[in-house]
Amino acid sequence: MWKKPYSYREGFVIDVGLILVGAMLQLSMGALDWDIFMWPANIITLAIFVLLTVIVYSRRSKSYFLRFMTTPRAAVPAIVVVVFLTLIMGLTKQASPQSMTNDPIGLSRMLSFWPFILTYVWMTAIVGQEAMWQITHASRHQWASLLSHVGLFIVLTCGTLGSADMQRLKMYCEQGKPEWRALDAYNNVKHLPIAVQLEKFTIDEYPPKLMVIDKNGVPIPAKKPETLLIDSTFKGGDIQGWHVTIKKRVDNAMPAALVKMGNSIPTEMMRRLRLDSLGQSLNKEGYLPTQNPGSECALLVSATKGSEKHEGWVTCGSYQFAYQGLTLDNGRSLVMGQREPKRYASLVDVYTEDGKNLQTTIEVNHPLTINGWKIYQLSYNEEMGKWSTLSVFEFVRDPWLPVVYIGILFLALGAIGLLFDTRKKTNIE
């Protein structure tokens, strides 16, 4: 071993050595804290790394080991080890840097795991040396390979060092109140140069579903409950031996007595409606349409099985009143599951410190981009459902992302160039 020329065996030994050194660093120092690379530390680190890459390349003629770095015998083992550690990361549940774990090794935070970091840096150094060789030796016909190596080097370095400057913040917006503050992962309050005022929250729900539960409230069958989708075309259907028909449907409904009382019953009392005499009397009177906050879909259903027949109201309930099911046989009941959201969005007014003012809609997978920030619809008050007066937004800012995109563009152009170059060689042959 270590006799010239070096083989793949020496390449793997280098990587094993880096893993052992990383393990000692992990045990002695703990995981790497990437916050130390926040601006301007990351740009300084990048400049030093690029300078070292140039210096190392300028000295390669005097060192066999430095020349070895630009050979497949060094690159292939480095890639194999990094891919292997990445595979472990994919198969291991990863924890955020802020959460507590019982992982003494550090595999649950692979991006801060020293063996992974050292092997990653080694692979990046190899890519840097190859990029330098391409810059100094590549002819105009080898532009595709040059772009590929330079693009990969940009992605590996800027994507890693730039992650320290990425910000993810949560903003809780109440309807009608402009909000400038957000919370970071440690629940520290951050004042933003952007304010958001929630004007209206809207939600589109999937049609209600009916299911049968046992006396313990477990859906039947337990592992894969049988359901009836009550869409606009539903006329009747069979579930667990019962034929169900809809006699009346009220999409926005409340107990009739509650509507007559002007929604004056306290919410906590409404949650106990099914447990007291007041609730029984309210349910017997049925449900009326209303646009009051807290209204929910109610169905007057008929369930028959042979000569047995049951009829009554079924609703999933809301934060204003409890759910109601239709009692069947053997302690089983026909109930409506909680409505599932299909789409939810927030109509907002957005203000910035530099004088911008716009009204727009933010919804899931359709973020708003403004002043370098992306604003995502993250959540809402799930207890209130479609009547929520609260929206939770996620603010994401990654100032290094445009540079990473440039690297990806170089990679894409290089891949296209290599593809055409391969086709030309095939045609010539």
Average pLDDT over residues 225-229: 93
Q: Is 385 left (phi over 0), alpha (psi -120 to 50) or beta?
A: left
The reported pLDDT for the residue numbered 284 is 58
Start-end of H helices in 8-163: 8-29, 41-58, 64-68, 72-91, 114-137, 143-161
Give the range among 47-51, 114-118, 217-221, 279-283 with minimum mean pLDDT: 279-283
Give the range among 17-31, 132-146, 301-315 with minimum mean pLDDT: 132-146
Residue 309 forms beta bridges with which residues? Answer: 304
Average pLDDT over residues 118-144: 88
Is the distance from CB of 348 to CB of 362 less than 8 angstroms? yes
Give the range among 255-259, 298-302, 381-385, 404-408 with minimum mean pLDDT: 255-259
Ranges 133-147, 282-296, 392-406, most confident: 392-406
CA distances from 93 to 14, 22, 27, 193, 197 (A): 28, 21, 21, 35, 37
CA distances from 16 to 29, 76, 85, 242, 281 (A): 20, 14, 12, 66, 75
The reported pLDDT for the residue numbered 103 is 72
Segment (H or E) for 362: strand 357-363
CA distances from 390 to 82, 252, 356 (A): 44, 20, 23
